[in-house]
Amino acid sequence: MRGLLLVSVIAWLCAAAPARADLLKPGDAFPAWSLTDQTGKVVKSSDLAGKTYLLWFYPKAMTMGCTAEGRQLRDRFADFQKRGVEVLGVSFDAPDKNAEFVRAEEFPFRLLSDQDHALAVAVGAARSADQSTASRISYLIGPDGKVRRAYGEVSPASHAGQVLDDFDADAKR
């Protein structure tokens, strides 16, 4: 009986945890988007045309993993700037919650609100608009608007370094 109960609990937990949707692949065109940042300003993908940018999706502002990842990106922000890479975070949080996160952690980059979850669904950070939080994924988008790198497995403690290493490796090709 205990074994059956354990199997039932494991099955329930697996069903309850949102699985990551399929990611876009390098070379794919990244969909056009328009999201509000923590100051209430609308930011559009067309504003970034001709620039390279990292779009990092995070589940929830001011939670342990998201804070760790954000701090790594903050601490390596000058390295991103030297390479001409703009850093933008995306979550389902409201702009005021993202503003609080920016202030608390002194982030030098913008945090965007995908409150209708449309971008997250389009790029594999959510399976559906009903998902409560975004999956922890990132995309490095090139100046041509195409995916340079897709990160479906993100370690909050090492992601910033991984992206910078990949950027440098791509630049040497």
**How much is the pLDDT for 14?**
34
Rounded Cα distance, 103 and 67, in Å = 12
Catalytic site residue from 66, 73, 85, 137: 66
What is the residue extent of each domain of the chain?
Answer: 21-172
What is the predicted pLDDT for the residue at 72? 97
pLDDT of residue 21: 57
Nearest to 163 by CA among 62, 56, 25: 56
pTM of the model: 0.86
Return d(Cα 151, Cα 24) in angstroms, integer.
10
Pairing of strands 147-151, 110-113: unpaired
- In terms of Cβ atoms closer than 10 Å to its own Cβ (0-12, 13-18, 19+), residue 171 is exposed
Place of tokens 């790198």: 149
Give the CATH architecture of domain 21-172.
3-Layer(aba) Sandwich (3.40)
Do the bridges between strand 147-151 and strand 138-141 make them parallel or antiparallel, or are there none, so unpaired? Answer: antiparallel
pLDDT by residue, tens only, the chain of 173 residues: 544 443 333 333 333 334 455 899 999 999 999 999 999 999 999 999 999 999 999 999 999 999 999 999 999 999 999 999 999 999 999 999 999 999 999 999 999 999 999 999 999 999 999 999 999 999 999 999 999 999 998 999 999 999 999 999 999 88
Active-site residue 14, yes or no? Answer: no
Ordered strands of the 34-37 beta sheet: 42-44, 34-37, 110-113, 85-91, 52-57, 138-141, 147-151
State the pLDDT at residue 173.
85
